[in-house]
Amino acid sequence: MLALIGIIVVLGSVLGGFTMAGGPIPVLLVPSEYIVIVGTAVGTVLVSTPMPVVKDTVSKSIAVLKANAFTRTLYLDGLKLLYSLFQMARKEGLVAIESHIEDPDNSEIFKQYPSILKQHHAIMFLCDSLRLVLVGSVPPHDLDMLMDSEIDVHHHEAEGSVNALTKVGDSLPGIGIVAAVLGIVITMQSIAGPVEEIGHHVASALVGTFLGILLSYGFVAPIAANIEAMNNEEVRFYQFHRAAVTAFAKGFAPIVIVEFARRAIPANVRPSFTEMEEACKNGG
């Protein structure tokens, strides 16, 4: 939501300032320049980027316009979910949670926390890691290293969309110059025509440069930075589960396990110990 407000502010500031200076908005509406710049940018992405990364880039760019998913409420739900699972394992044995981690979508415990289930990859990470605990043949320190390795792999894959957008953002000013040069070529063909016509062609050419720079620094680069921040938040959500699973593998009590997980939550959304304890015991 904040990103959407930022986009509105960028457009409002540019167009508002242009209008205040006496500039007519219609002069900026040059379809040929938009086709050259946007089409070329999209083409370079398709040439240089694998299709899975393209799909991920599109979905994450749309997600930028939505509210942040990794909130205090999400982490509290995560703590309650973990506490419920580990309490069941403590009271009824490890086998009791096997059906829940095998099919989390149909688990009565997981279904109580739909916001957690939406984080599909993180849930799979949690369940796969807990399966190794149930097997019992993987020492806690090796399990911790394995989870850390998987987090690194996931983070590396997630960087693909950021790299793709960053490259596009870096190339857009150059693409804008290409569009402007094409406009100047058209201008030179009309050099013997009326002054008004020449001025119109020059203005259209300059719109290409303007558009390339605006798209680069006003939209694409900020969206890439926002996606990078989202990826980092997702990694911290993985680290949250990693801390819990490692503590569980070491045999700590459920309330101690969720305290390990709580300490892995970013400070700006981390609940207090008392808040966590009350939430877990009331909801777990």
pLDDT by residue (tens digit) across 194-212?
A: 777 777 778 788 888 889 9
pLDDT by residue (tens digit) across 47-58?
A: 988 999 999 999
Percent of the chain residues topping a pLDDT of 90: 50
Instruction: Give the angle 27-30-31 at the CA atoms, nearest 5°.
Output: 155
For the chain, how long is the longest CA-to-CA vector?
90
In this prediction, residues 121-130 reach a mean pLDDT of: 92
Taking phi first (over 0 means left), then psi (-120 to 50 degrees means alpha), and beta for anything else, what does residue 169 get?
alpha
Domain extents in the chain: 29-284
The single residue listed with the structure tokens 């909130």 is 71
For residue 138, give the DSSP letter. Answer: S
pLDDT by residue (tens digit) across 221-253?
A: 999 999 999 999 999 999 999 999 999 999 999
Asked if residue 132 lies in contact with residue 143, where contact means CB atoms within 8 angstroms, the answer is: yes
The model's pTM: 0.85
How many residues are recorded in the chain? Answer: 284
Determine the Cα–Cα distance for residues 154 and 234; give it in Å rounded to an integer: 10
pLDDT by residue (tens digit) across 67-101?
A: 788 899 999 999 999 999 999 999 988 888 999 99
Contacts 24+ apart (CB under 8 A), 81-84: 81/109, 81/110, 81/112, 81/113, 81/116, 82/241, 82/244, 82/257, 82/258, 82/261, 83/254, 83/255, 83/257, 83/258, 83/280, 83/281, 83/283, 83/284, 84/109, 84/112, 84/283, 84/284
pLDDT by residue (tens digit) across 18-59?
A: 888 888 888 888 888 889 899 999 998 889 889 999 999 999
pLDDT by residue (tens digit) across 214-223?
A: 999 999 999 9
pLDDT category of residue 65 using cuts at 50, 70 and 90: confident
Instruction: Give the angle 120-122-128 at the CA atoms, nearest 5°.
Output: 100
